[in-house]
A = this chain, B = another copy of it.
Amino acid sequence: MPLDISEGIFRRNKTFTTRSLKTKINIQTLAKELNVSTSTVSKALNDSHEISDETKRRVLELATKYQYSPNPHASGLRNNKSKTIAVVIPEVGNSFFASVIKGIESVARVQGYHVLIYLSNESFEKERMILESLQLGRIDGLLMSLALETQEFSHIQNLLSQDIPLVFFDRVPQEIQAHKVVTNEFELGYRAVQHLWDSGCRQIGYLLNGTSNSTLNLRQQGFLKALSEKNITNPETHIVEIPKEISDDTFFRLLQDKSFDGVIASVEELVTPLWSACKSGALVIAQELKVLSFCDFPLATVLSPTLTTVKHPATEMGKKATELLIAQIEKPRKTLSFQSIMLQSEIIPRESTLALSKTIS
């Protein structure tokens, strides 16, 4: 009961002392109350040198008292700045992108930026519509990871020609000049093969979900390169597209047909169906089929067997990309050279790729 009362008082303090909240407080309200012009208030709040310390103090005091903050539309209109960035990603139900968003949001908040989120759902058409909806002025910049379907870039060129700062991350187009933040995909594809090979695999498969995208295939190229060096003929035949809604049985038979003794799951969405397929076919992971997956979820450590993964520095990637973007937004086209930052991912070996001699008891 006493708690309730104190809470009530607190609320009243906050709410009623500050003036009837129906009255909009804008720069003019403040100006009138202080007997100065609106420009004085504006300059004072922007800490202009033209304003005396005394005036600044008075303005600031009243502004905080009324919790004033400038109308974003008005200043946006005037300055052509929105303090807003957009993030366009294929999806969010994926640990990788979730972590990226975390990174983006944390940097953006500190720098005073707001973050708009858009999901392309891997669809080119949606991606195009999203970019179209980002009309002139709504955003100061854009962070983007391409949809799998995207093979053509006029919608992006369109945005770039409007001088909107743009930073790509993870799924980046080789065809477009822009800042990019990526991981060492090629190397990882290559090393993933090496890892499986060292664990005794000789028939290594590469699983894609849905269609392959020729522009996003560095990882795949690393895979192919590694297979070639092992003198495998027709390495492309080791790449298998797994349809979205595949049955356990079909998946299992596919693995059998190719007689893989090791597979690389190129995205985390494949882990569940793969595990499920092996279970239904009584294919023992680690013993009969070694598995390495590109994914970021913590459950990898508690699957049985525990899953060997390639861990991406997802949050870091979000942060770096956002920092690059904000730098580009705030430094008026200083550099025309575009940076390509490469972060290092690492393979974390676990039971699913243990060499036979050391197989779990």
Q: Which residues of A contact B (CB under 8 A)?
A: 7, 10-11, 14-15, 21, 24, 67, 69-74, 76-77, 82, 84, 91-95, 98-99, 101-102, 105-106, 109, 114-119, 130, 132-133, 135-138, 152, 154, 157-158, 161-162, 271-272, 275-276, 279, 297-299, 301-304
Contact = CB atoms under 8 A, between A and B. Distances in A.
A118 B84 CA distance: 12
Contacts of A93: 95, 98-99, 102
Most B CB atoms within 10 A — which of A106, A137, A279? A137
A180 to B, nearest CB: 20
Given A73-B76, A303-B303, A14 B154 contact: yes
Contacts of A15: 154, 157-158, 161
A103 to B, nearest CB: 11
Contact of A73 (B21, B82, B101, B272): B82
A133 B11 CA distance: 19
A77 B102 CA distance: 31
Contact of A136 (B24, B102, B105): B24
A154 B158 CA distance: 45
Nearest to A277: B302
Most B CB atoms within 10 A — which of A99, A162, A299? A299
A69 B135 contact: yes
Contacts of A95: 93
Given A93-B95, A98-B93, A136-B24, A116 B114 contact: yes
Contacts of A99: 93
Copy tally for this chain in the complex stands at 2
A130 B136 CA distance: 26
Nearest to A272: B298
Contacts of A158: 14-15
A114 B102 contact: no
Nearest to A135: B69
A117 B101 contact: yes
Contacts of A24: 136
Given A14-B157, A74-B77, A119-B102, A162 B21 contact: yes
A72 B137 contact: yes
A74 B303 CA distance: 54
Contacts of A67: 132
B98 A117 contact: no
A105 to B, nearest CB: 5
Contacts of A276: 301-302
Contact of A10 (B72, B133, B154, B272): B154
A15 B117 CA distance: 26
Contacts of A7: 152
A101 B215 CA distance: 28
A178 to B, nearest CB: 16
A275 to B, nearest CB: 4
A82 B10 CA distance: 32
Nearest to A93: B98
B77 A105 contact: no
A133 B130 CA distance: 25
Most B CB atoms within 10 A — which of A11, A14, A77, A130? A77
